[in-house]
Amino acid sequence: MAEREGPPDQDGRDDREGRDGPEGPNGSDGTEGPDAREGRGAVAVLDERGVVVDWSRAAERLLGVDRSRILGRPVTDLLTLVDAEALSEGVTVGPVYDGGKVKPGRWGLWPAGPLPGGIRSGVLEAVFTQSPVGLHVVDADLRVLRVNSAAVGMRGIPEREIVGRPFIEVYERWTPQPIESTLRQVLATGVPVFDRRVAGYPRADPLREHIFAVSIFRLEDDAGRPLGLVASAVDVTARERARDRLAVLHLVHERMGLLLDPVRCARELARAVVPLLADTATVALTAPPLYGPDAGLPPPPDEPLRCVAVWPPDADEAPEVGAEVCPEDPGRGVPYIDQEATGGPTLVAPIVLRGVLHGIARFSRPNRPDPFEDDDLRLAADLVAHTAVCVDNARRYEHSHAVALALQGNLLRGGRTGSSTLETAHRYLPTGLGTGAWFDVIPLSGSRVALTVGHIAGFGPDATAAMVQLRSAVQALAALDLDPHDLLARLDDVTRRLDEERSAAGTEEPLTAQCVYAVHDPVTETCAIARAGRQTVLVGHPDGSWRTHPLEETTALGEEGPPFAAEEIPLPAGSTLVLLSGHATPAAPPLADLRRHLTGAPGPLAATVLDALPADQAAVLVARTLPLDPADVADWDITPELSSVAEARRRTMRQLDDWGLTEETAFSVELIVSELVTNAIRHGTPPIRLRLIRNPADSTVTCEISDNGAAAPQLRRARAADEGGRGLFISGELSDRWGVRWLGEGKTVWTEISYSE
């Protein structure tokens, strides 16, 4: 054994104020018991003969020799009980001091190391008696050599039942296989493991799962040879449970925040709480009634509860989805715990908002004995409070959506065109943003057809009401036979006036809309088109090629910006026009598939389109141009002389006879031609042209008189003494519709009359 004159301090001087010095550790005065008399901090004391007169428990643990085997025997007997090398490395010997003086005839043994023996011993004892961290010292065979008081407290097992036993047996209730493999890995490699989570049910608290953060370090001698392991364990159950509860709350807010479906809200609640809070979860909701503050209706009495969510789906003893559920005393209004419920501890949480019961959530633990705690109650209260708000919002949305759909009714037609030169198909989804979208196919004079698709920003009844107003405005403006860009300019004025009215009524959201308006003329085989906004427009040519950007993007209706984009493009028979209510990338797979199906697709257009429409558009309108029979169009130039009226009547009668029209129809058309040609000769500007168009699709004949005059004809009632002024009135009375459309130069006065063959 290495000898020294006493436990020296770093500067060779005695230190009587807190460090081990000549008086013994901590400045002992020799009046506090055996250790104090013989030198505090010494693990053993020898007399002048070298006989052991005191052998502490620290010496027993340090050298592995029981007190009864060495006390009263010469210290040299340690050589027969302890390996000499281990003895020389384990302790140092020095004189014992008392009152600052060497105590004659007494020698002390201290743990060897860079620290004075008293400090080493004191630190070791403090760690094993006062540290809140559980410590286990394990030898190379994975047997427990020593545990501290914290480890005993956490385990709930007396120390005598731990020390000497294999570590794996001690932790048999704590998933021993992963622990054993980790211990052997650290023992073999020397690489420590930090903060490894271990869960189990300790004997001290067998009904609650505890979670420990375990760290494992290897013990080595001076040569680096492994001696064993030290495993520290900290009970982090409260921290982990708090983290789990926060995670559940975060999941519910994340998954449920943007949902507008009560059933999906309930399902997300059930999914989020399993398995962190419960093993199984069921959520029952009242039937989705249209009541609430906005509806002005009280909740119906005795509203039934029906199960809408079960998680996991195969949970035992859970009600079937759709089954009626007993409310289980929802009058409490706050979550409560039923520890004796069938199927294990159960937490029942009513979903209540402003005194209205929306449903009940049940969280059960059939697979573990852990009871629910007060913190679980508080978490459940937060969860159902958020769920109640989301369910209420979803039901308010359902109510608003139902009102919006009721307002829409049958506003949108089934695609009738009133023309034999255009085949159309459409798809409309009156859900979500679809409440503010519209499409229309509007027959115009001269067998022309207007196609329009629009979309209001926003959703709900306000968006539907604005959609109805703008759609009606489009139809009224279309009757004026305006060019598409002129129509959108006037529609923009209407949008701004409606926005002013909404603002005056307290609506903060500005009114904006997107709209595409196109007019197909089968006689000239052209299409005049204008766009406000970013709606997608596609033009397919008979040769199979596609024009994916026929128009530039412009500002929406109601926004400041340049004039709306307009274009006149050729659209011969066999062409395809696709209008969407929203913006979509033409190269996206849905539109690419749509173009592929429309290119040379046989069969009816509607069947082709319904198989390949994009799923993210509220309204889609597709039109395919058909050839116009040249025999259904007749036109002549009119000499600007009154004598030309008779010739115009004769040509008209011959054409009507070729078409096989009745005498009654022919008489009406003849009279209309006579009056309109006369007015054009008298009041118009040459050149003058007469055109007749038969439309077999809706059995109509259109009579058009065009001239270069800028004056618009006025319909008035002639007085009895007037010689003229009755021509336009007579034409209007004989025809079903009439009107004036303005050309680049001049105008066209037209009438339309129905016939029967």
Give the number of other Cβ atoms within 10 Å of residue 146's Cβ: 16
Q: Which CATH superfamily is domain 630-754 in?
A: Histidine kinase-like ATPase, C-terminal domain (3.30.565.10)
Distance between CA atoms of 576 and 570, rounded to whole angstroms?
A: 11
Same topology, domains 243-404 and 422-625? Answer is no
**pLDDT tens track for 461-502:** 777 788 889 999 999 999 888 999 999 999 999 999 999 998
- Helix 663-683 / helix 644-659 crossing angle, nearest 10 deg: 150
CB 228 within 8 A of CB 139: yes
Distance of CA 392 to the CA centre of its chain: 18
Fold of 422-625: Phosphatase 2c; domain 1 (3.60.40)
C-alpha to C-alpha distances, 577 to 452, 538, 616, nearest whole angstrom: 11, 6, 19
Q: Among 3.90.950.20, 3.30.450.40, 3.30.930.10, 3.20.20.220, what is the CATH number of 243-404?
A: 3.30.450.40
CB 544 within 8 A of CB 418: no
The dihedrals phi and psi of 55, each to the nearest 5 degrees, come to: -140, 105
Which residues does residue 427 pair with via DSSP β-bridges, in sequence order?
Answer: 620
Look up residue 659 and give its two tokens.
Answer: 């078409």
- Look up residue 78 and give its DSSP letter: H
Structural Rg of the chain based on CA atoms: 48
**pLDDT tens track for 342-352:** 767 889 999 88
Look up residue 150 and give its two tokens.
Answer: 């914290």
Closest CA to 488 of 519, 466, 443: 519
588 vs 433: which has the higher pLDDT: 588
Structural domain boundaries in the chain: 2-125, 131-235, 243-404, 422-625, 630-754
pTM (two decimals):
0.54
Mean pLDDT over 288-313 rounds to 62
Could you give the 3-state DSSP secondary structure of residue 347? strand
Distance between CA atoms of 55 and 72, rounded to whole angstroms?
A: 9
Distance between CA atoms of 507 and 323, rounded to whole angstroms?
A: 42
Distance between CA atoms of 374 and 378, rounded to whole angstroms?
A: 6
The pLDDT of residue 412 = 52
Closest CA to 105 of 113, 117, 95, 91: 95
**Poorest-pLDDT segment among 371-380, 635-644, 735-744:** 735-744
Which residues does residue 224 pair with via DSSP β-bridges, in sequence order?
Answer: none
The pLDDT of residue 653 = 93
Give the number of other Cβ atoms within 10 Å of residue 2's Cβ: 10
Q: Which CATH architecture has domain 131-235?
A: 2-Layer Sandwich (3.30)
Highest mean pLDDT among 136-145, 286-295, 469-478, 730-739: 469-478
380 burial level (CB within 10 Å; 0-12, 13-18, 19+): buried
135 burial level (CB within 10 Å; 0-12, 13-18, 19+): middle
